[in-house]
Amino acid sequence: MKETDAPILAPEQQLCFAVYAAGQAFARLYRPLLEPLGLTYPQYLAMLVLWEGEPISVTGIGQRLGLDTGTLTPLLKRLEAAGLVRRTRSAEDERRVVVTLTDRGRALKERARTIPDAVACASGRDIDGVVALRDELKALARALDTSESAL
């Protein structure tokens, strides 16, 4: 088994690098699709959450996307500067910043509707294939996160 030690360290052989490279490939694919909407990919993710339902707090968005405030606060400020969202402190609990869509932000949803289909098409998989791989990755992420404590 000695002689198989070295190749295991090659990036191309590792699952983590395959995930990393697939993420880069998605980023390259999304960039030209989102550029006409004036959104980056993480901004698009935040808009997806807002299109699902608002108002929602910064923490609420962070829980859906797995992002912390250090990432979301400047991201949401840029979306606010672009006129897509509003950030207002909650009256009941003044620690909360509640994010709502503007009319322009709501209208952008229509222009984004064609994106998931274009991406699914680019993946070269049918719906079942996309769903199967998606669920495998969800299970992987869950396994990685739950094992953290065991190390």
Partner DNA sequence: GAGATTTATATTGTACACAATATAGTTTTG
Partner DNA sequence: CAAAACTATATTGTGTACAATATAAATCTC
Residues that bind DNA (CB under 7 A): 24, 27-28, 31, 40-43, 57-60, 62, 66-76, 78, 87, 92-98
How far, in Å, CA of 140 to CA of 146, rounded? 10
Choose the contact partner of 107 out of DNA, its own copies, none; CB within 5 to 8 A by kind. none
CB closer to DNA, 42 vs 130? 42
How far, in Å, CA of 19 to CA of 25, rounded? 10
Q: Cβ 15 to its own copies, closest distance in Å?
A: 5
- Helical pair 103-112 and 41-52, crossing angle rounded to 10 deg: 110
CB closer to DNA, 73 vs 102? 73
The distance between the two most distant Cα atoms of the chain, rounded to a whole number of Å, is 65
Q: Cβ 125 to DNA, closest distance in Å?
A: 22
CB closer to its own copies, 64 vs 87? 64
Residue 109 token pair: 């949803």
Given the DSSP bridges, would you call strands 85-89 and 97-101 parallel, antiparallel or unpaired?
antiparallel
Q: Cβ 1 to DNA, closest distance in Å?
A: 31
